[in-house]
Amino acid sequence: MDNQQALPMAADNVSIDPTIDPTTQRKHAAMMERLSNLHQSRVSNKTNPKDPSFESTQSFLSAFTNSKQAIESSLAEIQQIPDSNPNQDLKPDLERISLSISDLEKLVAENSYFLPPYEVRSSLKTISDLKQTLDSVTSKVKPRKKFSFKNKPAKKPETATVLAAAATKNESEHQSSYKVTDAPGFRSKENEVLVKEFKGSEVGEYVLTDLTNCEVRLKGCLRTLFINRLQNCKIYVGPVLGSILIEEVEGCVFVMASHQIRIHHAKRSDFYLRCRSRPIIEQSDGVRFAPYRLSYDGIENDLKESNLFDDTGSWANVDDFQWLRAVQSPNWSILPENERIETVKF
C-alpha cells in the first residue's frame, strides 16, 4: 500500500538523465551496484531458514495468541498461589512473565512492517493490557519490600497507603460529584406521553434518556438537548438554539429543529429536521431524513427567535462520518414524500 502511494511522487524525483555528465553516470553506476548488493543480501536473508521472520499475518497471529495465552495462564496461576501457600517466593516467576511479555513486544515490533495497522494496534493493546495485569498481580502478590535502614521508623508505606486511600476516596467523590447534579429531563419511562413546556430564557440543557414506547413533546425554545438510548419513541421538539446530540436510538421518529444535529448509533429511525448546518451520522444505518413538520401555538415566534425560521434545506445534506466517498452513503436516505408523516400539531 505504502509502496503504491509512493510510486508516483518518486517518479519525478528519480529522473536522472544518464547522458548529462560522466560523474553523475559513475555515481549512478555505483549506486546501482550498491543496490544490487543490498538486494542480494536481502534475498539471502529471506531464504535463510534460521530467520524467524514469517511474512504472514496468520502465522504471526497464531504465534502471538499462543504466547499470550501462556502468559495469561501463568498469571492466573500465580494469582491462585498466595491463598494456599503465602510464603512461597514468586519473584522469579513474575520476572519470567515480564520477560516473556517483552519478548512478545519484540515479536510485534519485528513483524510490524508487514502487519495491517489494525493488527499492530490490537497487539500493542493486548501487550499493554498484559503489562497492567502483571502490575496488579505483582502489587497483590509480592511481599512488601523490606526497608533496609532499620533505625528509621517504617512510616513511608503507611503514608503511601493512606494517600492511596485518600486518592480512591477522592475518586469516588469525583464520581458522585457530577452524578448528583443531574440535568433536568425525562428518564427511564415506558409507554407514556411526556409533555414539557419551556418558557422564557431560563431553560438550559434537557435530557431524554432510557425511554421506551414514549411520545415526548417539548414545547418552546431550549439551549441544548441530549438524547440517549430510546426505543420506538416519537420525539417532537421545538427550536434548539445550540446543538442536539443523539445516541443509541432505534425505531424512533424525531421531529426537531436545531443549529447542529449529531446522530450516533441510530437504527431504523426517521428524522424530520430543520438544521442550520449539516446533520451528521456515525455508526448508524437505516436512518431517513425529511423536512421539519411541527406546529404549535407560537412556534413561528420561537423559530424566529432561535434563527431557525428559514428552511435552508440542510436537512438533506447529511454527512456520514463512516462513508467518506463521493457516492451516496448506504446508511441514510431521503424519506420518500408519500411515506412522510403529516405535520404534527399539539
Partner 1 sequence: MGLLSIIRKIKRKEKEMRILMVGLDNSGKTTIVLKINGEDTSVISPTLGFNIKTMTYDKYTLNIWDVGGQKTIRSYWRNYFEQTDGLVWVVDSSDLRRLDDCKFELDNLLKEEPYQTVRFWLNTSAGFLLTQPSLFQKCSCPKQKPAHPQFNGDMDDKLDIHVIKCYKIDKRLSGASLLVFANKQDIQGALSPNEIAKVLNLDVMDKSRHWRIVGCSAYTGDGLLEGFDWLVQDIASRIYVLD
185 strand-pairing partners: 207
Question: In whole angstroms, what is the distance from residue 210 CA to residue 186 CA?
Answer: 8
Work out which of 67, 82, 226, 248 binds partner 1, going by CB under 8 A: 226
Q: Is 148 helix (H, G, I), strand (E, B) or coil?
A: coil
Q: Which of 169, 33, 63, 77 is nearest to 123 (CA)?
A: 63
CB atoms near residue 242 (< 10 Å): 15
Instruction: Select 68 or 259, whichever has its Cβ closest to partner 1.
Output: 259
Instruction: Select 91 or 106, whichever has its Cβ closest to partner 1.
Output: 106
- CB of 288 vs partner 1, minimal distance in Å: 19
234 strand-pairing partners: 215, 253
- CB of 218 vs partner 1, minimal distance in Å: 16
- CB of 230 vs partner 1, minimal distance in Å: 14
Number of residues engaging partner 1 in binding (CB under 8 A): 64
Q: Is 184 left (phi over 0), alpha (psi -120 to 50) or beta?
A: beta
- Do the Cβ atoms of 157 and 144 come closer than 8 Å? yes
Instruction: Select 209 or 269, whichever has its Cβ closest to partner 1.
Output: 209
Q: Is 160 in the site for partner 1 (CB under 8 A)?
A: no
Interaction with partner 1 in 75-114: which residues (CB under 8 A)? 109-110, 112-113
Q: Is 72 in the site for partner 1 (CB under 8 A)?
A: no
Question: In whole angstroms, what is the distance from residue 86 CA to residue 160 CA?
Answer: 23
Cell of 102: 517483552
Q: Is 282 left (phi over 0), alpha (psi -120 to 50) or beta?
A: beta
| Residues near partner 1 (CB under 8 A) | 2-3, 6-7, 9-11, 13-14, 16, 24, 27-28, 30-31, 35, 38-39, 42, 109-110, 112-113, 117, 120, 124, 128, 174, 177-179, 181-184, 202-205, 207, 209, 223-224, 226, 228, 242-243, 245, 259-260, 262, 264, 276-278, 280, 282-283, 307, 312, 319, 321-322, 324
